[in-house]
Amino acid sequence: MIPPSHALPFPDGFLWGASTAAHQIEGNNTNSDWWEFEQRGGSAAMGVAEPSGDAADSYHRWREDMDLLAGLGFTDYRFSIEWARIEPAEGQFSRAALAHYRRMVEGALERGLRPMVTLHHFTVPRWFAERGGWTADGAAALFERYVTATAPVIRTGVRHVCTINEPNIAAIFGAVPESGTEAPAAGLPLPDKAVGDALIEAHHLARVAVKAISADIQVGWSVANLSYQALPGAEELAAAYRHPREDVFLEAARGDDWIGVQSYTRTRVGPDGPLPVPDDAERTLTGWEYYPRAVGHALRHTAEIVGAVPLIVTENGIATGDDSRRIDYTTGALMEVAAALEDGIDVRGYLHWSALDNYEWGSYKPTFGLIAVDPHTFERTPKPSAAWLGGLGRSRMLPRAGS
């Protein structure tokens, strides 16, 4: 282990960046199921305080976003492409949308940013949802067809492709979302098995489809890691909660080139099940417990399940209006990542959530971004945390506390 007085190094080639999701930043994603859901009467009662609208207008301002990330020192940018834009009607593919996303890939490369492209980040086309979503006959094959159609976007210059973001959460929501904001970690309902099975099938088909586009692309998916921590005597119960909500989806990645670890907080489990956040604990703007060590637990548990599959932290961050707490939280999280590396766990990168303050599935109030966005002018303003984290990317060194 590195002596406490020294800095913690990250290896050469380590992915160092930030993540976004198309629906949350692009704006006016009118052909998606989520847009329809946001406009639906009564959606406020299901957790949607406001619609996404223009979001951060990143569909038009992506160059500015990439300029900022590259200038701050980041080397990697994870962004998603919208199935609903690429295939707005069943079987009809938009050459203009494909060209747009290809320009984003080329723009990232021109700025020295390695693009990681996510093919599905929670949203699906309205026509797909209306035919029954993931539980309809042939759903996985339709996703495979869409993935094949993305060849002009990902064939060259894209090293990492994420097929599906957080399939375990998507399976909990089911084919059509029933709540606007993500459910809290404690007390998550069981994933819909039919949806989960379809997502696993879709992932495996997509993996083959991506490799057919280019064998050089490294394919994986990302899983929401809930960091179940058992109180004494509740170990079996914690495992029973974790397996269908997390481990099933980790096990499905054993043949992948990498797997994305996404972690924000922990879930404590007592003899009677998941426990609420302690009354005296610090909470984030999402109501989650402030717990930077969660990513360490997530990395170690994921490594136990997937074996030799390399790990990438594809999301980790905090919703807060106090940027100093973002820096403190991220420092703690990166200490966990560095400790995992020192212990021989094959961690290939860290991508912070998120690059921008964005639409958090029902509300703009939870601010996760390294970069603030004015909701009226769309002016971007990097926060101190952005310069700090980008600077770490340049040095690849994390000073230990007190050093």
CA distance 285 to 60: 28
CA distance 264 to 258: 20
Beta bridge mates, 115: 77
- CA nearest to 139, candidates 90, 211, 80, 88: 90
Q: How far is CA 310 from the centre of its chain?
A: 17
CA distance 124 to 271: 38
- Could you tell me if 125 and 32 are in contact, meaning their C-beta atoms sit under 8 angstroms apart? yes
Q: Is 81 left (phi over 0), alpha (psi -120 to 50) or beta?
A: beta
| Strand ranges, E, within 280-342 | 311-315
- 166 catalytic? Reply is yes
Q: Are strands 273-274 and 267-270 parallel, antiparallel or unpaired?
A: antiparallel
Residue 89 phi, psi dihedral angles, 5° rounding: -130, 150
What angle (nearest 5°) sits at the alpha carbon of residue 221, between those of residues 308 and 34? 165
Q: Is 13 left (phi over 0), alpha (psi -120 to 50) or beta?
A: left
Longest dimension (CA), the chain: 59
- Find the catalytic residue in 82, 87, 166, 289: 166
CA distance 97 to 103: 10
Residues known to be catalytic: 166
